[in-house]
Amino acid sequence: MAKTVADISTTPAGSKAEQAYRAVKARIVEGTYTPGYRLVLGTIAKDLGFSVVPVREAIRRLEAEGLVTFERNVGATVAGIDPTEYLYTMQTLSIVEGAATALSAPLIDPAAIARARAVNEEMRECLDHFDPVRFTRLNQDFHSVLFEHCPNPHILDLVHRGWNRLASLRSSTFRFVPGRARDSVDEHENLLQLIETGADADTIEKAARRHRATTLDAYLAHTR
Amino acid sequence: MAKTVADISTTPAGSKAEQAYRAVKARIVEGTYTPGYRLVLGTIAKDLGFSVVPVREAIRRLEAEGLVTFERNVGATVAGIDPTEYLYTMQTLSIVEGAATALSAPLIDPAAIARARAVNEEMRECLDHFDPVRFTRLNQDFHSVLFEHCPNPHILDLVHRGWNRLASLRSSTFRFVPGRARDSVDEHENLLQLIETGADADTIEKAARRHRATTLDAYLAHTR
DNA sequence: CGAATAGTGATCGTATACGATTTTGTACTT
DNA sequence: AAGTACAAAATCGTATACGATCACTATTCG
């Protein structure tokens, strides 16, 4: 008998570093840890019941993703809604989403188009019931359908990194520019039609870029 | 007297995790650790005189950058010259370098143009003396001059990440496609002229993209 | 009353030790 | 001879402990 009963309870799924990463990230996205919140290694470790080493690794990963800032002997703080940082992130997302859409477009089959359109219609319903949280989630679903056959995983990774950075400003579309969301849904439909009709890559890329850039412009005009 | 003499000897510059990161990365770039080389935490720690914890952090950072692959309870290995991975990286670089060039172009002053041109002429000399290592370094210098006033640090960061990924295939231009290097120098000059004459952003972006994409195409044609 | 300073506390950084998991080598059986 | 089961070694993952560094505060001096 080599294995003991304890093996049943052990959860070899993810390492504790991974669990800590997900846990802290979730708390940031959900808004439990608001921007400016100080993340103390010891405290988080005690809360999660882990040691500080895996928690430290989790924090460093979050730092690399831009969700927290880290300072030696001071600790980590949840990254704030710096307007400049927002601009950088949105501009970068505009570029990588544009590329991802253009690269994926030839590989999107009619069934996927139909699914994306269904998601978009759900988003339209969210407008009436004013459900910003669900709207944001569906927005990601929409683009996920478009990108599911993206031939370049690196670019897809960059898209996800951008989404992560925006995670702490959840449903920012609604919060900052109320009228923007409806335009967004229309732009989605426009994008789908371009893909359906087999528009050339450059046209699709520019449309996808503009989709994100317009949101940024609206934000800039709104806060100016 | 609060401070002791020991303070003089302490080097608060970088943490050991940082030192380990730089050391291992340097060994990979220099070719001391060739692709496929197994990086064992304990061994590296003993070599550097550090403990395993900071070394582990360094390895995880290198993993995030794509320079090594990591497997649980197995260890890390230096990432190989996977043709597919090369394609992904070059395609992504094409996009982010294109964007970076287009964004930077309006901010490049004549003095910077002159410096970039000087670097490019040095590259031309390298062709005659066949100095691939210096060529590769100058190539990065050339683009660094162009990007030094890039208004979006995030995009610049993506460019550097791409360069890092290519680091293990140092001077790949010479190695894979001998005739390609001379074209590259000509394309640089062409790019400078576009910037000088104040071409529109879209033209500059496409030229910059094509510069990288052509290298990729040459590689694909060469290995097919 | 303000500013410089010493002391205290908090937090990170790393070393060491131990446990879990995988791989590898070996002996035995078919 | 080949395949399998078992044991031993190697490696990563994490907990704990301690040291180093920095921020904060109370105190003292000008």
Chain-chain contact of B155 with A99 (C-beta, under 8 angstroms): no
Query: Which of B53, B88, B91 minimises the CB distance to A53?
Result: B53
With a CB cutoff of 8 Å and minimum separation 6, the contacts of B86 are: B169, B172, B219
Q: Could you report the per-residue pLDDT of A176-201, keeping only the tens digit for each?
A: 566 788 888 999 999 999 999 999 99
Q: Is A35 exposed, middle or buried (0-12, 13-18, 19+ CB in 10 A)?
A: middle
Nucleotides of D under 7 A from a protein CB: 7, 10-17, 20-23
Q: Identify the residue whose Cα has the smallest distance to the C1' of D16.
A: A51
Which pLDDT score, from 0 to 100, does residue B120 have?
A: 94
Pick the CATH number of A83-223 from 1.20.120.530, 3.10.20.30, 3.40.50.720, 1.10.3720.10: 1.20.120.530
| Chain centroid to CA A147 | 13
Which pLDDT score, from 0 to 100, does residue A12 have?
A: 45
CA distance A69 to A164: 14
* Mean pLDDT for all residues in chain A: 85
Q: Could you report the per-residue pLDDT of A43-82, keeping only the tens digit for each?
A: 999 888 899 999 999 999 999 888 899 888 788 999 876 7
Closest CA to A65 of A208, A162, A205: A162
Residue ranges of domains in chain A: 6-78, 83-223
A12 CA to D13 C1' distance (Å): 11
Q: Backbone phi, then psi, for B70, in 5-degree steps?
A: -130, 140
Q: Which nucleotide is nearest to B55 (CA to C1')?
A: C14
> Contacts of residue B153 in chain A, CB cutoff 8 Å?
88
Q: What is the ipTM of this complex?
A: 0.82
**Which residues is B75 bridged to in the sheet?**
B71
B25 CA to D6 C1' distance (Å): 40
Q: Identify the residue whose Cα has the smallest distance to the C1' of C16.
A: B51
Strand D reaches within 7 A of the B14 CB: no
Sheet holding B68-71, edge to edge: B38-39, B75-78, B68-71
Which CATH number applies to B6-78? 1.10.10.10
The half-sphere exposure of A212 on its side-chain side, counting CA atoms within 13 A, is 28
Which residue stretches of chain A have pLDDT < 70? 1-13, 81, 168-178, 224
What Rg do the C-alpha atoms of chain B give, in angstroms? 20
Which pLDDT score, from 0 to 100, does residue B169 have?
A: 65
For B23, which DSSP code? Answer: H
> Contacts of residue A57 in chain B, CB cutoff 8 Å?
56-57, 60
User: DSSP letter string over B110-165?
Assistant: HHHHHHHHHHHHHHHHHHHHT-HHHHHHHHHHHHHHHHTT-S-HHHHHHHHHHHHH
Q: How many CB pairs under 8 A join A and B?
A: 47
Q: Could you report the per-residue pLDDT of B92-142, keeping only the tens digit for each?
A: 999 999 999 999 999 999 999 999 999 999 999 888 887 877 888 898 899
What would the two tokens of residue A55 be? 């928690």
- Entry field: residues in chain A: 224
User: DSSP letter string over A176-204?
Assistant: H-TTHHHHHHHHHHHHHHHHHTT--HHHH
Q: Which nucleotide is nearest to A70 (CA to C1')?
A: C12
